Amino acid sequence: MLEVDGLVKAFGGFRAVDGCTLRVGKGEILGLIGPNGAGKTTLFNLVAGALQPTLGTIRFLGEDITTLPTDARFHKGLVRTFQIPHEFHNLTARENLMMVPPRQPGENLFANWFAAGKVRAAEDAVRQKADDTLAFLELTHVADERAGNLSGGQKKLLELGRTMMTEAKLVLLDEPAAGVNRTLLRKLEEKILILNRERGYTFILIEHDMEMIEKLCAPVVCMAEGKVLIQGDFHTVRSDSRVLEAYLGETPTAVEREAAEHDPRVEDLREQELHREDL
Ligand SMILES: Nc1ncnc2c1ncn2[C@@H]1O[C@H](COP(=O)(O)OP(=O)(O)OP(=O)(O)O)[C@@H](O)[C@H]1O
């Protein structure tokens, strides 16, 4: 579905992404992990079209999209979730979903004037789709609530819902677990799995929460210093010494080592490793 070849993004003399080659197959939920500054978000920005690569190519469904603008990629079904924009906080959850479909007939002045009935029918269809999406996400009870008043987890579900209002094929999720409580996290995971297994969505998911990566993602790709370090199943990647080294830093100073020792992500990796050994 997605083929990234030799991708480089240089900021001045520094390469945030440094020769990335990656394949994402249809129906996968690919987990992208790596320490801070590994280049994950920059890679997302390149794939979504928010940044132009210095070198390399990106193909989506067999088509070279390297120079296509973001909205053209969006129309092809390559969708990145974004935090709900600040100016949308005063809109209700339902209205936030209804804003998504591009080129609504209601936006066209002449269509409004000449075909008011048609516009109303289209708006009714969009409203219905928004209500179906809210029902799927179990957010019907907050349909008329201002988006700004929703909890962190509800906002994440709504962001996922915005991708369901389009014909999304590949969805890029940037840290979906961040700021979400455990209960809503389980719900978010469940919805991602249903969208993947029953509705054919492919996902790339950047995440520091290793539990979520383990539950949802195959394959897992670990990036470090702008490069793909390793790709494989969660257990293979987790137990690869290069991955642990990347999280700890190759030649850490005493202070850095002390900080890394207490990094919750490293503790998380270690804990899971010990748990695996127990088994
Ligand atoms: N616009 C920019 N100009 C200069 N340097 C940048 C720019 N954007 C990112 N970088 C640098 O590129 C590197 C990779 O950043 P990026 O945000 O892609 O990492 P990341 O893997 O997503 O990290 P995190 O997990 O902390 O979000 C970092 O060193 C960052 O400071």
Q: What are phi and psi of 165, to 5 degrees?
A: -85, -10
What is the structure's pLDDT at 279?
A: 43
pLDDT reported for residue 193: 95
DSSP-derived 3-state class of residue 83: coil
Question: In Å, what is the CA distance from 118 to each residue of 108, 128, 157?
Answer: 12, 15, 31
Q: How far is the CA of 91 from the centre of ligand 1 (A)?
A: 32
- What is the model's pLDDT at position 273? 54
For residue 26, the model assigns a pLDDT of: 96
Ligand 1: centre distance to CA 198 (Å): 34
Q: Which pLDDT score is estimated for 274?
A: 53
Ligand 1 near 34 CB (within 6 A): yes
Ligand 1 centre distance from Cα of residue 224 (Å)? 11
Amino acid identity at 1:
M
Q: Which residue has the tokens 């979400």?
A: 180
Q: What pLDDT shows up at residue 254?
A: 47
Please report the pLDDT score of residue 258 as a whole number.
56
Predicted complex ipTM exceeds 0.95: yes
Q: Residues spanned by CATH 3.40.50.300 within the chain?
A: 1-77+168-250
Contact (CB, 8 A) for 105 and 119: yes
DSSP string, 21-33: EEEE-TT-EEEEE
Residues 223/34, Cβ–Cβ less than 8 Å: yes
Residue 143 CA, ligand 1 centroid: distance in Å: 36
pLDDT score, position 251:
43
Phi and psi torsions of 39, nearest 5°: 110, 10
Q: In tens digits, what is the pLDDT along the chain, a chain of 279 residues?
A: 999 999 999 999 999 999 999 999 999 999 999 999 999 999 999 999 999 999 999 999 999 999 999 989 988 999 998 777 676 889 999 999 998 855 444 444 555 555 666 667 777 888 999 999 999 999 999 999 999 999 988 999 999 998 888 879 999 999 988 888 888 889 899 999 999 999 999 999 999 999 999 999 999 999 999 999 999 999 999 989 899 888 876 444 445 555 555 666 656 665 655 555 444
In CATH, the architecture of 1-77+168-250 is 3-Layer(aba) Sandwich (3.40)
Q: Are 60 and 1 in contact (CB under 8 A)?
A: yes
Residues in the chain: 279
Q: What is the pLDDT at residue 263?
A: 63
Class of residue 3 by CB neighbours under 10 A (exposed 0-12, middle 13-18, buried 19+)? middle
Q: Is the CB of 48 under 6 A from ligand 1?
A: no
Distance 43 CA to ligand 1 centre (A): 9
Mutate to test the pocket of ligand 1, among 15, 41, 222 (most ligand atoms within 8 A of CB): 41
CA–CA separation, 22 and 5 (whole Å): 7
Residue 252 has a pLDDT of 46
Tokens matching residue 260: 């890394």
Q: Which residue's CA is the nearest one to ligand 1's atom 11?
A: 16
